[in-house]
Amino acid sequence: MAEEATLQVSASETIGTLLARNASHYGSSIALREKERGIWKESTWAEYVEEILACAAGLEKLGVEPGKAVLVLGDNRARLYAGMLAVSLLGAYAMPAYPGATLEELQHFLGEVEIVAAIAEDQEQVDKILEVRTAGASGIAHVIYDETRGLGFYEDDGLMSWDHLIDIGRHDLNEDPHRRESILNRTKPDDPAIFMHSSGTTGKPKGIVLSQKNVLAAARNGHAAGAFEENEDVLAYLPMAWVGDFAITVAAALLWRFTVNVPERQETVVRDMREIAPTFYLAAPRSWDQMLTTIQVGMENSTPLKKWLYRFFMDRAVAAETRKLNGESGGALEPLGRLLGEAIVFGPIKDQFGMSRLKNAFTGGEAIGEDTFVFYRALGIKLRQLYGQTENSAINAIQSPGEVRLHTVGKPVPGVELKIADDGEILIRSDSVFKGYFNKPEATAEALEGGWLRTGDAGYVEENGQLVVLGRVSEVMYTAGGERYVPNYIENRLKFSPYIKDAAVLGAGLDELTAMVCVDFEAVGHWAEVNGVPYTSYADLSQRAEVATLLHGAFKRVNNALTEPLRLQRFVSLPKEFDPDDGEITRTRKLRRKVVEERYADVVAALYDGSKEVHVSAQVTYETGEVGKVERSLPIREV
């Protein structure tokens, strides 16, 4: 049991004590790099902790205290991370929100807990907070902003630049020499680290408070399972309101002293990734797919010689990797091909995308397509699957480097107990599991049973201990004929096609299955350019007969893998993409089934009443908040 003990978070460890440890023992190593005008500005742990302390002291002066919350709004910025840590040092709730959050979403957050201050990235976010304030949330007394541009003439009450806050805090720290220690030692392991939200596929997002013990336990468990090592270089590009970002770039970074690299802007992430070449990289399957599409489109546009070389090595590597995944052994020439391929094709491609130093690469959040998975393995990136959710601080199970299979998500990490309920639901018990939904006793009682977290996922454990996740328990549906199916499973299979970005499978309580799909504008657009298919807009492109043929192929492939009664019969290609601003998907791009089925009720009806065409007027919310309509007649296609 000695080993077990080391895996537990030591009882007194908190964010404060870890910050103190890093500042005193590793004060001169680099904690943060933030790109500003092309230059990666570095801060050591000593400087970073000093800034966090100043921020905490400043916030305390502004009235931030336990039980109150601070809204953190914006893209990844070093100062927003420092702000979140400062809030948790004070024992208050740091509540990150997606930078694209709408007014209603923010108002929903305000209804949960008293928000006394907000830390915003720039003018855009400040405007949003001021708007919420005028709409009645006068409780947000202070708004602190990072980027000062455009805010010079704002005269609203309580508006303050980050530098000003730090000045206040620093002055306060210098007056009392014991102030630093008292702030660092104030919180206990059970005090909150972060206030997250569930993705809200079925309703309003629920508040999830993870304690410092939770997130640090997850970081420790992940390390014990080999997810990351000490001193990793990571890129902070995931949305700050997603638990994966907090678990890696804050909790694990703190415990294992990562260097966190904050890109200049969302648009420069790809370039910044190349400049940094992170050693650890976690991305959703969607991002891996996107990168794969970019690589393939790039190779498609290349010269015949290079294309031939690429095909030659890639085909062999993919075949070798598939053999390995199926447990077969390769030929004698395989290592040679690997070596040459690495020098001529794989190495340069990995270099172009900043993956050449990548040791720990993960995909998580959803199922990943076989083609994508095998491609990256063939490229020499040891891509592994990770399974987790917000309620459990993001880390439940990961694959270990040696035992990667496509359909499993690996073994539960050390420190996480896992069992399968009688109805097939996966149950989890660990230090990293939260205490319950914020102010929602009923939901909490539903999710937590005697210390076991009901994950809501159906799955089973294979004989060798590998966990297999099938899909959401709540999503298991039945056709009129009583056939059981998981729409999400079929949708994911559809989305493995590079041409399909989103899909909604219909058929609950109906005779047969049909689908609505949104084409991928980049991939289909490029395909159209190459094949001489003219189009003017997304709406136009999505309805082209040629594109329908393309989608046909994808549907055929999916149908081949499905049993007869579950085959998809008809589909409609929608004239607009699903968008979180329109509420059709969540910010993490999960389908809001109810919303979609309501909004496209006409289409759903038409798919089953035998009509050949359906008139649609879809709602579009523009970035300015205005609402427009897309009107169009959509043909219904038979598979």
Partner 1 sequence: MFYRLSGVHHADYVSDTRIFKLPADRNLAAFIFLFGLVAPFIIPSLYLNSYILPWLIWTAAALGLNLVTGWAGQLHLGYAAVMAVGAYSAIHAARFGIPWEFALIIGGLSSSVIGSLFAFAALRVKGLYLALTTLAMQFVMDWVLTHSPAITGGSHASLQSPTLALLGQDITSDAGYYYVAFGWCVLVTIFMLNLKRTGLGRALVAVREKDFAAAILGVNSFYYKILAFATSSFIAGVSGALLIATFFFLAAPEQFSVNVSIQVLAMVIVGGLGSVIGSYFGVALILLVPGLVNGLVVAGSAGLGTQINVETLAHIPNAVYGALIVVVLLIEPLGLGKLYGNIRDYLMVWPFDQLRK
Footprint on this chain of partner 1 (rule: CB under 8 A): 33, 38-42, 270, 274-277, 294, 298-299, 301-303, 306, 309-310, 343-345, 347-357
Residues 6+ apart with CB under 8 A from 546: 528, 531, 533
Compute the distance between CA of residue 111 and CA of residue 369 in angstroms, rounded to an integer. Answer: 39
Which of 30/251 has CB closer to partner 1? 30
Compute the distance between CA of residue 392 and CA of residue 434 in angstroms, rounded to an integer. Answer: 6
At 630, phi and psi to the nearest 5? -110, 120
Inter-CA distances, 498 with 285, 286, 375, 438, Å: 12, 10, 13, 39
Q: CB of residue 450 vs partner 1: minimum separation in angstroms?
A: 49
Q: CB of residue 311 vs partner 1: minimum separation in angstroms?
A: 11
Spatial contact of 539 and 508, defined as CB atoms under 8 Å apart: no
Which of 275/597 has CB closer to partner 1? 275
Which of 275/546 has CB closer to partner 1? 275
Which of 283/604 has CB closer to partner 1? 283
Q: CB of residue 233 vs partner 1: minimum separation in angstroms?
A: 9
Which of 595, 571, 464 lies closest to 519 in space, CA to CA? 571
Compute the distance between CA of residue 2 and CA of residue 433 in angstroms, rounded to an integer. Answer: 22
Which of 193/345 has CB closer to partner 1? 345
Distance of CA 303 to the CA centre of its chain: 36
Q: CB of residue 599 vs partner 1: minimum separation in angstroms?
A: 33
Token reading at 625: 């908040």
Which of 33/472 has CB closer to partner 1? 33
Q: CB of residue 186 vs partner 1: minimum separation in angstroms?
A: 33
Q: CB of residue 525 vs partner 1: minimum separation in angstroms?
A: 13
Q: CB of residue 440 vs partner 1: minimum separation in angstroms?
A: 45
Q: CB of residue 9 vs partner 1: minimum separation in angstroms?
A: 33
Q: CB of residue 315 vs partner 1: minimum separation in angstroms?
A: 14
Q: Give the dihedral of Cα atoms 47, 51, 57, 60; nearest 10 deg.
A: -150
Q: CB of residue 493 vs partner 1: minimum separation in angstroms?
A: 29
Compute the distance between CA of residue 279 and CA of residue 356 in angstroms, rounded to an integer. Answer: 8
Which of 353/489 has CB closer to partner 1? 353
3-state secondary structure 282-326: EECHHHHHHHHHHHHHHHHCCCHHHHHHHHHHHHHHHHHHHHHHC
Compute the distance between CA of residue 596 and CA of residue 266 in angstroms, rounded to an integer. Answer: 28
Which of 312/608 has CB closer to partner 1? 312
Which of 296/569 has CB closer to partner 1? 296
Tell me the angle at which helices 15-25 and 212-224 cross, rounded to the nearest 10 degrees.
Answer: 60
Which of 344/486 has CB closer to partner 1? 344
Pairing of strands 159-161, 142-145: parallel
Compute the distance between CA of residue 448 and CA of residue 428 in angstroms, rounded to an integer. Answer: 9
Q: CB of residue 126 vs partner 1: minimum separation in angstroms?
A: 30
Residues in the chain: 639
Which of 53/355 has CB closer to partner 1? 355
Distance of CA 265 to the CA centre of its chain: 17
* 3-class secondary-structure state, position 451: coil
Compute the distance between CA of residue 588 and CA of residue 169 in angstroms, rounded to an integer. Answer: 35
Spatial contact of 479 and 507, defined as CB atoms under 8 Å apart: yes
* 3-class secondary-structure state, position 154: coil
Q: CB of residue 290 vs partner 1: minimum separation in angstroms?
A: 12
Which of 286, 270, 291 lies closest to 354 in space, CA to CA? 270
* 3-class secondary-structure state, position 582: helix
Token reading at 284: 């959703």
Residue with tokens 């904690």: 31
Which of 215/355 has CB closer to partner 1? 355
Q: CB of residue 35 vs partner 1: minimum separation in angstroms?
A: 8
Compute the distance between CA of residue 635 and CA of residue 274 in angstroms, rounded to an integer. Answer: 43
Q: Where are the alpha helices (DSSP H) in 412-537?
A: 441-447, 487-495, 521-530
Q: CB of residue 261 vs partner 1: minimum separation in angstroms?
A: 8
* Ramachandran class of 354: left when φ > 0, alpha when ψ lies in -120 to 50, beta otherwise: left
Compute the distance between CA of residue 371 and CA of residue 44 in angstroms, rounded to an integer. Answer: 41
Which of 222/354 has CB closer to partner 1? 354
Token reading at 175: 């007056």
Which of 115/349 has CB closer to partner 1? 349
